């Protein structure tokens, strides 16, 4: 938190505690809703939160409510009278209401739906039916629709009339009598046109749109690619049913990046911020992979046990380099897999690029393996020989195997995510920890068999 914000929060607390409500309201009117929400969450107890919320200027209440975390929202709703709830719900955009409903227990959802107007209730129920990761689930149905034969002046009248209830007014959608999306007109374009111009002549008549069931991540990437402020969502008949705005797209991109990072670190994706998650939920997100990877390490134990007698008969020193070999192979494989996974997520590469990628990784891996194994050879002869009995042949075998395992690890690391994508699996799930297990087992087998064969 910035100092400026801390001073502001102290002022708010002072006004609130000394019941200087007029001063409080003046201060609040100048604040952003998200900052007021942060103040309520961080400074006030349960009872004060509801008391404070009732003091909010009416025009701010819904905006603040949307920004509050879902536990506090639930607590507030339970304290609201029906009239209060109705006032808050009526002022909210439908996509925000949907977001809130999705986090609430069934009895609270019932109350929210009961407090909505019949028209909104119908739309809410429709929105709630879209799958969790679809364009439909993040869109709002409140946008400005124009018709093609309006004049620009009439369009501005329409914007003024419906604008206050639309999430964005800057991109208007032109439809025919049957709600088919036939064009897009930005307010910028309208402002730079003559008031008597006809919308048909100023609109862009090849609008880019997405379908309701498209993956929300693809929608967000598309919006970002074209630098739009909003994207229209159409149903199978090409009728516009809603829009996705850039602020929601940004949230989707951030969430997806977080999810990918979690998966790469062997954590099941979670949605809540870290400090809001219960110990139990964190356990649930982390235990499956931790267990699975622990059990799959049985392979490495089996391999080591199998080679044990033969290996120690050759040289007891060989065991000491097993962790170094496995770690380096794991790191090398992780570098390739993570690079490929992120490039897939950013749409920089597709499955059809697989041979280009393998060829590139092959060249990179040979260069990397050469550097690392030469340095390793030098390290073995200069450093490790100080505390261990390292013969030239052992140093050569360790660095030779290191070379092979790095190339092998990079090959596995770049192929697996691409194959996962092709099989419609999530590339991020097969990332580092999973690949580490495969690469561990392979490098152990190579190491043990080469050492036994050559020594």
Residues 357 to 416 in contact with a copy of itself, rule: CB under 8 A: 357, 360, 363-364, 367-368, 371-372, 375-376, 379, 383-384, 387-388, 402, 406
CA distance 159 to 340: 45
Q: Which helix (H) or strand (E) holds 25?
A: helix 21-29
Cross-strand bridge partners of residue 233? 210, 242
Decide the pairing of beta strands 145-147 and 171-175: parallel
Select 89 or 253, whichever has its Cβ closest to a copy of itself. Answer: 253
Smallest separation (angstroms) from a copy of itself to the CB of 136: 19
Which element (helix H / strand E) includes 61?
helix 58-67
Q: Which of residues 141-200 bind a copy of itself (CB under 8 A)?
A: 156, 159-160, 163-164, 169-170, 187-188, 191-192
Of residues 258 and 391, the one with the C-beta less far from a copy of itself: 258
Shortest Å distance, C-beta 121 to a copy of itself: 26
Q: Which is nearer to a copy of itself, 72 or 436 (CB)?
A: 436
Residue 191: φ, ψ to 5°: -65, -30
Min. distance of Cβ 246 from a copy of itself in angstroms? Answer: 6
Smallest gap from Cβ 405 to a copy of itself, in A, equals: 11
Does 37 engage in binding with a copy of itself (CB under 8 A)?
no
- 21 interacts with a copy of itself by CB under 8 A: no
Sign of CA dihedral 212, 213, 217, 218: negative
Q: Between residues 64 and 444, which has the closer beta carbon with respect to a copy of itself?
A: 444
Q: Rounded to the nearest whole angstrom, what is the least distance from the CB of residue 37 to a copy of itself in the complex?
A: 11
CB of 263 to a copy of itself, least distance (A): 10
Residues 286-345 that bind a copy of itself (CB under 8 A): 286-287, 289-291, 293-295, 297-298, 300-302, 304-306, 308, 312, 316-317, 319-324, 326-328, 331-332, 334-335, 337-340, 342-343
Calpha distance 73→220 (Å, rounded): 27
Please report, as residue ranges, which positions from 248 to 277 form the binding site for a copy of itself (by CB under 8 A). Answer: 249-251, 253-254, 257-258, 260-262, 264-267, 273-275
Min separation Cβ 325 and a copy of itself, Å: 8
CB count within 10 Å of CB 422 equals 13
Q: Name residues contacting a copy of itself, limited to 78-107 (CB under 8 A).
A: none
Q: Which is nearer to a copy of itself, 191 or 453 (CB)?
A: 191
Residue number, 81 or 206, with CB nearest to a copy of itself: 206
Pattern 212-231, binding to a copy of itself, x per CB under 8 A? ------------xxxx-x--
> Given phi > 0 = left and psi -120 to 50 = alpha, else beta, which region is 70?
alpha
356 part of the interface to a copy of itself, by CB under 8 A: yes
Shortest separation between residue 428's beta carbon and a copy of itself, angstroms: 10
Q: Six-digit token pair at 86? A: 């109705």
Q: Between helices 322-345 and 392-422, what is the axis angle to 10°? A: 30
- Closest listed residue to residue 121, CA positions, set 135, 101, 146: 101
Strands 230-234 and 240-245: antiparallel
Among residues 409, 408, 434, 407, which one has the least CA distance to residue 420? 434
Establish if 205 lies at the interface with a copy of itself (CB under 8 A).
Answer: yes
C-alpha dihedral over 192, 196, 200, 206, to 10 degrees?
0
In the complex with a copy of itself, the residue whose CB is nearer, 113 or 163, is 163
Among 408, 437, 447, 448, binds a copy of itself (CB under 8 A): 437
CA 62 from chain center: how many Å?
26
19 binds a copy of itself (CB under 8 A): no
DSSP label at 431?
A: S
For residue 167, give the 3-state DSSP assignment.
coil
Q: Between residues 61 and 390, which has the closer beta carbon with respect to a copy of itself?
A: 390
Nearer to a copy of itself by Cβ, of 213 and 246: the residue is 246
Strands 181-186 and 171-175: antiparallel
- Closer CB to a copy of itself, residue 124 or residue 380? 380
Least gap, CB of 374 to a copy of itself (angstroms): 10
Q: Sheet harboring 145-147: ordered strands across?
A: 145-147, 171-175, 181-186
Which residue is associated with the tokens 């509050």?
Answer: 68
For a copy of itself, how many residues bind (rule: CB under 8 A)?
115
Handedness of CA 259, 264, 269, 270 (dihedral sign): negative
Question: Which residue's entry shows tokens 């400005």?
Answer: 144
SS3 336: helix
């Amino acid at each position: 938190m910035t100092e400026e914000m801390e001073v502001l929060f102290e002022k708010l607390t002072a006004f609130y505690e000394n019941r200087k409500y007029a001063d409080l309201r003046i201060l609040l009117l100048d604040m952003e809703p998200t900052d007021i929400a942060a103040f309520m969450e961080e400074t006030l107890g349960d009872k004060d939160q509801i008391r404070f919320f009732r003091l909010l200027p009416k025009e701010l209440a819904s905006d603040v409510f949307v920004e509050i975390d879902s536990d506090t929202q639930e607590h507030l709703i339970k304290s609201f009278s029906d009239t209060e709830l109705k006032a808050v719900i009526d002022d909210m955009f439908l996509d925000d209401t949907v977001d809130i409903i999705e986090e609430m227990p069934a009895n609270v959802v019932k109350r929210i739906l009961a407090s909505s107007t019949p028209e909104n209730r119908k739309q809410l129920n429709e929105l709630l039916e879209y799958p969790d990761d679809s364009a439909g689930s993040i869109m709002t149905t409140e946008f400005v629709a124009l018709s093609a034969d309006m004049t620009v002046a009439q369009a501005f009248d329409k914007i003024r009339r419906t604008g206050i209830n639309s999430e964005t007014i800057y991109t208007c959608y032109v439809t025919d009598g049957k709600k088919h999306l036939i064009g897009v007109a930005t307010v910028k374009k309208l402002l730079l046109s003559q008031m008597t111009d006809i919308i048909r002549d100023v609109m862009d008549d090849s609008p880019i749109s997405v379908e309701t069931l498209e993956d929300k991540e693809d929608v967000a990437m598309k919006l970002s690619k074209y630098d739009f402020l909003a994207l229209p969502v159409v149903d199978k008949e090409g009728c516009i049913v809603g829009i996705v705005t850039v602020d929601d797209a940004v949230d989707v991109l951030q969430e997806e990046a977080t999810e990918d990072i979690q998966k790469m670190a062997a954590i099941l994706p979670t949605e809540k911020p870290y400090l809001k998650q219960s110990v139990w939920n964190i356990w649930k997100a982390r235990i499956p992979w931790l267990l699975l990877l622990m059990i799959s390490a049985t392979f490495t134990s089996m391999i080591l046990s199998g080679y044990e007698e033969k290996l120690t008969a050759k040289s007891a020193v060989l065991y000491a380099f097993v962790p170094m070999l496995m770690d380096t192979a794991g790191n090398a494989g992780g570098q390739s897999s993570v690079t490929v996974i992120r490039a897939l997520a950013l749409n920089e590469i597709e499955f059809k690029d697989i041979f280009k990628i393998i060829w590139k990784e092959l060249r990179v891996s040979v260069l990397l393996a050469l550097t690392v194994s030469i340095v390793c050879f030098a390290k073995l002869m200069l450093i490790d020989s100080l505390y261990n009995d390292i013969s030239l042949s052992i140093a050569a075998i360790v660095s030779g195997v290191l070379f092979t395992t790095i190339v092998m690890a990079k090959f596995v690391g770049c192929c697996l995510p691409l194959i996962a994508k092709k099989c419609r699996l999530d590339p991020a799930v097969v990332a580092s920890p999973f690949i580490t297990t495969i690469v561990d087992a392979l490098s152990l087998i190579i190491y043990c068999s080469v050492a036994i064969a050559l020594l």
